[in-house]
Structure 1
Amino acid sequence: MVVRRLCIIFWTVFALALSENLGAAEFWQDDWSMGQRIESSRLEITALKADDASAIYRAYMDSQAWLYHQLGWSWPSSKTSEEQNASMVQHLLKQMKQKNGFSFVVTDKKRNKVVGMVYFAPVSAERGNGAALDTSNIQAEVTWWLGKKAVADNLHNDLFALTTDWLRAGWPWGQVLFPVSESNQSALAVLDNSAARKVAMNRDTHEVFYSYTLARK
């Protein structure tokens, strides 16, 4: 019962982070359309579907302890159930329908296996608490996770390149935020070696914030 309550609390907080923002009109407008998929030689990113739930569950539970430490999200719990996972997926699908956030599944084409997820969301109103972070020109925040083996295979580099190319070519935003835990070494390495700018830190939440400008050619 305690574990179930903790999971409910986590997904409630996650939902608020995806829905509370500093400028909802900037995040999404009615005449915009969301991207459905993009792929490279190794990876495919596709819009979340209900029948992805089992594959997503296996992907993160295979790396549960590693992800729990690395992400800093207090997730995934070792006691997360398939039922709780299915509820999470349904919640994310509801947000996509309401255009309050967009969730995507990452597949390793070589292994034909789901290895992670990418999320596009409004900038949380809480981001500025405890950090000197100016979000006035940032329309969305981007987060992701990849399983341990995928990171060992350097797919985090491929995923970042593919995601930013997609954001630049197929999404309406001019500037996005990457919030990353100080413990997420693979994501920090990617961002530090990219065009992203480190703009703030929150020592209370142990997060580092990077701004990324989506310059169009």
Structure 2
Amino acid sequence: MSWLPDDFVHPVLVPLPGGGHHLRPIRESDTPLDHPAVMGSRERLWSVYGPAWGWPAATMTYEADQADLLRHEKEIAAHRSFNYALFDAAETALLGCVYIDPPERAGADGEISWWVVDELVGGKLEQDLDALVPQWIAADWPFEQPRFIGREISWPDWLALPEPSGT
């Protein structure tokens, strides 16, 4: 059984309030913008995602990031999981990502997390993204019990949850 309905069509462009930024599915061709964004915020990202995902490694090369983005692109096409990149209007800067994944822990039908680059932490764009993501998930995704990891539940508490039965 798939975690999404067979006829589900994922959004391909999600504007943020104000029109200056948007989300879209990440692609391998985004590596030139993704790699510096991730590595420029690596220490903070590791403090968030490291214990759960082992990402991003301190030694993540451009080529490793490119392979990772290709994997994400293929997962998106197959509706196995989704990685949306946050861009400025002209797509000259990748400013963060939103992950929408099948549940790895019991009690949810989708697990969502997101981040912005270090220089945006605490600013208006992060606040706009924080407000948008739950609304967008409720409006455009077929989840009845989405879990917002790092928002409504901490990463350590999430890691302590049981895995779904049948896995």
- TM-score normalised by the chain length of structure 2: 0.80
Q: Give yes or no for contact 1:71–1:145 (8 Å, CA) kept in 2.
A: no
* Cα distance change, pair 83–63 in 1 and its aligned pair in 2 (3 A): same
Which residue among 14, 32, 48 is the counterpart of 1:38? 14
| CA-CA distance at 1:208 after TM superposition | 4.5
Task: Tell me how far apart the structure 2 counterparts of residues 107 and 46 of structure 1 sit (CA, whole Å).
Answer: 8
Q: Give yes or no for contact 1:56–1:114 (8 Å, CA) kept in 2.
A: yes
Partner of 2:58: 78
Task: Tell me how far apart the structure 2 counterparts of residues 102 and 110 of structure 1 sit (CA, whole Å).
Answer: 22
Partner of 1:167: 137
SS, match of residue 31 in structure 1 = coil
Partner of 2:127: 157
1:126-149 deviations in Å (ceiling 9; x for gaps): x25xxxxxx1xx321101121111
Describe how 1:16-55 pairs up with structure 2 within 5 A: 24-25=1-2, 27-40=3-16, 41=18, 42-55=20-33
Task: Tell me how far apart the structure 2 counterparts of residues 154 and 74 of structure 1 sit (CA, whole Å).
Answer: 29
Give the aligned residue type for 2:32: S
| CA-CA distance at 1:102 after TM superposition | 1.1
Task: Tell me how far apart the structure 1 counterparts of residues 55 and 26 of structure 2 sit (CA, whole Å).
Answer: 19
Partner of 2:157: 207
Query: Higher Cα Rg: structure 1 or 2?
Result: 1
SS, match of residue 75 in structure 2 = helix
Which residue among 81, 85, 102 is the counterpart of 1:105? 85
SS, match of residue 206 in structure 1 = helix
Q: Give yes or no for contact 2:31–2:69 (8 Å, CA) kept in 1.
A: yes
| CA-CA distance at 1:160 after TM superposition | 1.9
* Cα distance change, pair 54–110 in 1 and its aligned pair in 2 (3 A): closer
| Runs (4+) off by over 4 Å | 109-112
SS, match of residue 107 in structure 1 = strand
Give the number of aligned pairs: 155
| CA-CA distance at 1:71 after TM superposition | 3.5
Give the aligned residue type for 1:30: D
- TM-score normalised by the chain length of structure 1: 0.63
Gaps of at least 5 residues in structure 2 are 160-167
Gaps of at least 5 residues in structure 1 are 1-23, 129-134, 181-190, 210-217
